[in-house]
Amino acid sequence: MVQFRNSAYKCFTFGEVDLVPTMEEYTTLLRYPKIQIRKTYAQVFSGQNFMKNLMSILRMSEPWVTARIQQKGNSKCISRENLRGLILTHPDERKRVDIFALSIYGLVIFPKALRHVVEAVIDLFDRLEKGITPVPVILAETFRSLSTCRKIGEGRFIGCVQLLMVWFHWHFWKVDKVSYWVFSEGYSPLKEEAAIQRREDISEEKWIEILQNLKEGDIEWRVYWMVPDEIMYRCCDFEWVPLLGIWGAIGYIPLLALRQYKSRQFVPTTYRLAQCEFSFKGAHYKKKVRELSDAWKQTRWMKRLAIGSMMTPEYDVWFKKKVNDNVPRPSLENAQPMEEQLQVAPSELEIIKQHFEKKSSELGEKIEQLEEEKMHLRLDTDV
């Protein structure tokens, strides 16, 4: 998916389609209260509180924690094995749950160091109790890692690949009828995703061909469990939403994804978008962080509104002319619909098997016919 990342507009461009993981989609996936989306993590991490935060989360003594802290690159961290031992043996059962959740955040959602949870993740986890939502942080690090991998053409993706793939799958999962369970309080899209059997017989080359030739009708624009009433579309003077992560910041354009809310798509404003992407390094980044943090104090929301065509004529013209630095777009004139492309061509062994089954069926019918003729001959003899 990295090669379909459009770095200029911070989105995925698949053939005729722009798709963006949105805060509302991730908030619903993770089942966070929507009101928390207004309380984002917007503080640059300071390593001075690492020991204090880790002792508070683990409820272990300072000597115990000190003996298990390791150094990985520029970050202090604690290993998966140490956390696993606490999950199994900690005397406080509630703390076992907290430590298990910390492990998910550090090893799955923000896998910065393999098999270790780094100090910046522990700082974020400590602030979740204060009503901070991790959704903008998760999206920020997902987008930043995609951009980095796209720019250098390789590298390890350190965002949450599991959530990204769940989001991707749901936009390609056609649903004819929405179950009433979607509207129940206990419904979880992640649990339903885990129960669905996905096809694993499609090669990487086939997926690239499919995504290069993707058309509007091939996807589910609004996933059926998504029922938003409001869309956060900008912060303060920014025409888009700046996202502050753990290790850097990046811009995000909700107005580029209006069709994902079943609203009419128009040309979004992207002025100063590139200036928002930076790492928390160097001498001047703290001033930028304060500016973006202050912008989150003045968020702007819009009601979802669906009228007329899904696109304005101006957007159609803009889409064809906009910058796209990902994989080259092939001609869509003779492209097959996604359903036809997903029809797997039988292998030589399967062809032989089908031929054998056909011949066996014909032979079985012939034997039944001979048995019936034999029975008639016996009846004639008896008469």
What is the C-alpha separation between 49 and 300, in angstroms, rounded?
33
> How would you write the pLDDT of the chain (383 residues) with one tens digit per residue?
788 888 888 899 988 889 999 999 998 888 887 656 666 776 655 656 788 889 999 999 999 999 999 998 888 999 999 999 999 999 999 999 999 999 999 999 999 988 999 999 999 998 888 878 899 999 999 999 998 888 877 778 888 999 999 999 888 876 655 565 666 777 888 888 888 777 777 788 888 888 888 888 888 888 888 876 788 999 988 999 999 999 999 999 999 999 888 888 899 988 888 888 999 887 788 888 889 989 998 999 988 766 656 888 899 899 888 877 665 555 545 555 545 544 444 444 555 556 667 777 777 777 777 777 666 666 555 55
DSSP code string of 79-125: EHHHHHHHHHH-S-HHHHHHHHHHHHIIIIIS--BTTEEEHHHHHHH
Give the pLDDT confidence score for residue 46 in this predicted structure. Answer: 60
Asked if 15 and 319 touch (Cβ cutoff 8 Å), the reply is no
pLDDT digits (tens, 9 = 90+) for 168-188: 988 887 665 556 566 677 788
Q: Assign 3-class secondary structure to 329-372.
A: CCCCCCCCCHHHHCCCCCCHHHHHHHHHHHHHHHHHHHHHHHHH
Give the pLDDT confidence score for residue 54 in this predicted structure. Answer: 92
Q: What's phi and psi for 201, nearest 5 deg?
A: -100, 15
Other Cβ atoms less than 10 A from the Cβ of 189: the count is 20
Give the pLDDT confidence score for residue 324 in this predicted structure. Answer: 77
What is the C-alpha separation between 155 and 148, in angstroms, rounded?
8
Give the pLDDT confidence score for residue 37 in this predicted structure. Answer: 64
What is the C-alpha separation between 147 and 106, in angstroms, rounded?
21
Give the pLDDT confidence score for residue 100 in this predicted structure. Answer: 95
311 forms beta bridges with: 265
Chain centre to alpha carbon of residue 14: 15
What is the C-alpha separation between 133 and 152, in angstroms, rounded?
31
**With the C-alpha atoms ordered 145, 147, 148, 153, is the resulting torsion angle positive or negative?**
positive
Give the pLDDT confidence score for residue 345 in this predicted structure. Answer: 44
Amino acid at 202: I
Which residue stretches of 216-342 are H helix?
285-295, 313-321, 338-341
Which residue stretches of 119-235 are H helix?
119-127, 135-152, 161-170, 189-195, 204-212
Consecutive H or E run containing 12: strand 11-14
What is the C-alpha separation between 166 and 178, in angstroms, rounded?
18
Asked if 28 and 21 touch (Cβ cutoff 8 Å), the reply is no
DSSP-derived secondary structure letter, 241: E
Give the pLDDT confidence score for residue 121 in this predicted structure. Answer: 93
